[in-house]
Amino acid sequence: MNGRETTGTPYAPHGDAETREMLDAVGVDTEEDLFDIPESVRFDGDLGIDARTEREIRAEMADELAKNRDLTELLGRGHYDYYVPSAVEHLADRSEFLTSYTQYQPEVTQGFLQALFEYQSLLVELTGLGIANCSMYDAATALGEAATLAERLRVTSGSRVLVPEHLESGRRAVLANYVAGTDLVVESYAMDDGNADVDALTDRVDDETVMVYAETPTVRGCIEEHLDALGDLADDNDALFVLGSDPVSLALLEEPASVGADVVVGSASALGLPQSYGMDLGLFACREDFVRQVPGRLVGASTDADGTRTYTLTLQTREQHIRRERATSNICTNQAWVALRAAMHATGLGADGLADLAKRDVADARDLAARVDDVKGVQAPHHDRHHLREFVAHTDQPAPAIGDDLVDEGYAVHVLDEHHVQLCTVGTTEAERDDFVAALTEVAR
């Protein structure tokens, strides 16, 4: 039909007779006649992509992915391997959810809207803040959006954004790009044994500071013990206090609103999403009075013409499709389906189930650190703090070599620098941790 042998796409149902009928209705001879593309820019070549059958592609990709090594991961730093119940997988895959898009027509998409409303509400409970949006791309872009929010809200002429010295490099790099279009300047403040160095920070914060960022737990798994002081410092200087965390930790640790957090960002994909090579769900919650400056989608309750409680996207006048270059963010497509999964997972766990996960994570990290500390040539935890899920260990021998040797033994750990590794307990069984300690004992001496 288009001058080439064509097998066609398997996902268009047109038979030849049907195609003919449609072409006749339009009044053209061939599909080619419908393209108003100047000859000079038409592509007549071959893209060099061979079509395969489903069976072939599944076999090919299974073969390729089987080349990923079978490693026991003691990896964390923002991405955690919590078990996602089968029920969540199956429910999220219901195609009425999966194959829908943004709820521009709320009357026919009440189901998804209600799930997103529940997601927002869960984060409101966990953070104590008035509102949560229904998603940013990931923790790093959520942090970036928090900085641009700080810029829009600032009451001083300042431009300083203070972030902890221990900050995951991807988050720091994304933040740098989100502030590139502003006059904001990102500076690090020092840590003291794995927590914010409050004295150092006190010296740094001034009325030019528009945002203070802290994390609990920190990227190294340390529970931040100075949140109250940090909140006060920010508040005294009219700076936004932005706290990074995640829904599991929030079920156990101090409520962000109670320590003066104005915004909470972080990764919410600990819930609902298996490890997906860094795919994430950006959490974003903030004080209610920021509502007109919030980035991203918001679902609100309303009433329909029959008087029934319903849900709809609201305050869209903040968004790019209406406000264009003055929008609160450029985000359009987001991570709604991951938010749906997180809500499902959290609702299955409940407050007790979530808190139990976090308690176990504290206990497991403490236990593994103690056992690793018994290994000759290793001291753990490196920071004298409470830990959740993970901790840093000091190694007498070069850490990169230990990391390599551990890979050979079937374990992946974070190698931080010449003499530090970081170990995370989430997703490993007790037996696996036993074996790991034995392997570490072999390679660390």
Partner 1 sequence: MNGDAPDGDDGGDASADGFHFDQARWSDGDRHEPLSSEKRTTEAEYDDSPLPDDLTRDELELPKLEEPDLVRHYTRLSEMNYGIDSGPYPLGSCTMKYNPAFTEDVAADPNGLVHPDRPVAGVQGTLSVLYSLQDYLARIGGMDAVTLQPPAGAAGEFTGVLVADAYHEHNGGDRSEIIVPESAHGTNFASAALAGFDVVSLPGGEDGRVDLEALEEALSEDTALLMLTNPNTLGLFERDIEQIADMVHDAGGLLYYDGANLNALLGRGRPGDMGFDVMHYNVHKTFATPHGGGGPGAGPVGVVDELAEFLPDPQVVEAPDASPLKYEFETPERSIGKVHGKYGNWLVLAKAYAYIARLGNDGLNDASAKAVLNANYLASQVEYDVPYGPFHHEFVASAGDQDAADVAKRMLDYGVHPPTTKWPEIVSEALMTEPTEIEGKRTLDQLARAFNAVASEDDETLAAAPERTTAARIDQTEAARDLRLSWRALDD
User: Which of the residues 204 through 243 are near partner 1 (CB under 8 A)?
Assistant: 223, 225
Is there binding between residue 350 and partner 1 (CB under 8 A)? yes
Please count the residues of the chain.
Answer: 445
- Region of 158-166, 198-206, 207-215, 291-299 interacting with partner 1 (CB under 8 A): 291-299
Which has the closest alpha carbon to 409: 381, 437, 390?
437
Compare residues 303 and 333 and give the one whose CB is closer to ligand PLP.
Answer: 333
Is there binding between residue 322 and ligand PLP (CB under 6 A)? no
CB atoms under 10 Å from CB of 285, counted, come to 29
Q: Are 140 and 281 in contact (CB under 8 A)?
A: no
Compare residues 9 and 333 and give the one whose CB is closer to ligand PLP.
Answer: 333
Among 185, 301, 370, 438, binds partner 1 (CB under 8 A): 301
CB atoms under 10 Å from CB of 87, counted, come to 11
Cβ neighbors of 100 (< 8 A, separation 6 or more) are: 109, 112
Q: In a 3-state reduction of DSSP, which class is residue 214?
A: strand
Residues 391-430 that bind partner 1 (CB under 8 A): 403-404, 407, 412, 414
Which has the closest alpha carbon to 221: 362, 321, 81?
362
Q: Mask of contacts with partner 1, 354-393, x by CB under 8 A?
A: xx---x--xx--x-------------------x-------
- Region of 54-62, 204-212, 237-245, 368-376 interacting with partner 1 (CB under 8 A): 54-62
Provide φ and ψ at 96, rounded to 5°.
-65, -30
Among 333, 384, 408, 431, binds ligand PLP (CB under 6 A): 333
Q: How far is the CB of 379 from partner 1 (least distance, A)?
A: 22
Instruction: Tell how far CA 126 is from the center of its chain.
Output: 16
Among 29, 166, 174, 377, binds partner 1 (CB under 8 A): 174
- Region of 154-162, 206-214, 236-244, 323-331 interacting with partner 1 (CB under 8 A): 323-331
Amino acid (1-letter code) at residue 54? E
Residue 405 binding target from partner 1, ligand PLP, none, CB below 5 to 8 Å by type: none
Longest dimension (CA), the chain: 82
Q: Are 388 and 77 in contact (CB under 8 A)?
A: no
Residue 359 binding target from ligand PLP, partner 1, none, CB below 5 to 8 Å by type: partner 1
Residue 116 binding target from partner 1, ligand PLP, none, CB below 5 to 8 Å by type: partner 1
Compare residues 161 and 174 and give the one whose CB is closer to ligand PLP.
Answer: 174
Q: Total number of residues binding partner 1 (CB under 8 A)?
A: 193
Q: How far is the CB of 92 from partner 1 (least distance, A)?
A: 8
Q: Are 370 and 362 in contact (CB under 8 A)?
A: no
Q: How far is the CB of 369 from ligand PLP (least distance, A)?
A: 42
Is there binding between residue 332 and ligand PLP (CB under 6 A)? yes
Q: Total number of residues binding ligand PLP (CB under 6 A)?
A: 2
Q: How far is the CB of 320 from ligand PLP (least distance, A)?
A: 8
- Region of 157-165, 174-182, 186-194, 434-442 interacting with partner 1 (CB under 8 A): 174-182
> Could you write out the DSSP letters of every residue in 326-384?
GSS----S--HHHHHHHHHHHHHHHHHHHHHHHHHHHHHHHHHHHHHHTSTTEE--SSS
Q: Are 132 and 291 in contact (CB under 8 A)?
A: no
Q: How far is the CB of 199 from partner 1 (least distance, A)?
A: 20
Query: 72-73 and 411-412: which strand pairing?
Result: parallel
Is there binding between residue 40 and ligand PLP (CB under 6 A)? no
Among 190, 198, 279, 437, binds partner 1 (CB under 8 A): 279
Q: Mask of contacts with partner 1, 113-132, x by CB under 8 A?
A: -xxxxx-xxx-xxx---xxx
Q: How far is the CB of 269 from partner 1 (least distance, A)?
A: 10
Which has the closest alpha carbon to 243: 321, 164, 330, 329?
164
Which has the closest alpha carbon to 358: 272, 231, 247, 242?
247
CB atoms under 10 Å from CB of 384, counted, come to 9
Q: Which two tokens stand for residue 245?
A: 């965390």
Compare residues 194 and 296 and give the one whose CB is closer to ligand PLP.
Answer: 296
Q: How far is the CB of 321 from ligand PLP (least distance, A)?
A: 8
Q: Mask of contacts with ligand PLP, 274-313, x by CB under 6 A?
A: ----------------------------------------
First to last CA, the chain: 70
Taking the CA atoms of residue 78, residue 79, residue 80 and residue 85 in that order, the dihedral angle to the nearest 10 degrees is: 130
The dihedral region occupied by 319, where left means phi > 0, alpha psi between -120 and 50, and beta the remainder, is: beta
> Could you write out the DSSP letters of every residue in 389-401?
SEEEEEESS-HHH
Compare residues 14 and 445 and give the one whose CB is closer to partner 1.
Answer: 14
Interacting residue ranges for ligand PLP, rule: CB under 6 A: 332-333
